Structure 1
Amino acid sequence: MKRFLRQILTAALCLSALGGCMKWDYGRTEDFSATERGLFIVNEGMFQYGNATLSYYDPETKTVENEVFYRANAFKLGDVAQSMVLHNGVGWVVANNSHVVFAIDP
């Protein structure tokens, strides 16, 4: 009897995990292109608010584009963006409190 209940419980847990999945709609993305002389600016945001952003400054046109990570990916950067580095053509952005490191195409 215990074995039968254990099997039913296992099956119920598996079905509930599969039934809890949903299709995630991130929203609309925008194209963004960075020049080679520009500067990425990491705005860390407030702790536990999830409002970190990534901006881009183009010194040739003297313009700043805000929310470039969100515009390119249609989801927020996370909570407390700590730093960004460019290495071998890949941008690495650390979101400290979100426990994530993003590899982005600049």
Structure 2
Amino acid sequence: ITPLTRNPLTDQALLGRIIRLFAEKPVISGSDLKESLADSQSELRVILDTLTVEDQSRIWSMLQTPYRLSVSYSVYPVEIEADTAKVVVSSRDTALAAGLAKKGKSA
């Protein structure tokens, strides 16, 4: 996340608010999500990602832009249990229908 204001103090204040927001509410769900995700049971976990100086340098050099104040997060889906149970067939209940043919005899 990189604030794009022209004031370094505003950039710092914005990043401070973003860091505090994700620290207080690291899971985004429901009405916080947009479009098709808003009506689903999807949840996203937001985790502060501490990049090394080398990784940060690679990102900014790839963008061919001078470094700006920024912070990195990783976003992961949160697994949600289904409301209905899944039917699972145990391997012990399944019969083997194929066999091996003996030499010299047709199967």
Which TM class, normalised by the smaller chain length? under 0.3
TM-score (structure 2 length as normaliser): 0.23
**Structure with greater Cα Rg:** 2
TM-score (structure 1 length as normaliser): 0.24
More helix by share: 2
More strand by share: 1
Q: Which has the higher contact order (CA 8 A, sep 6+)?
A: 2
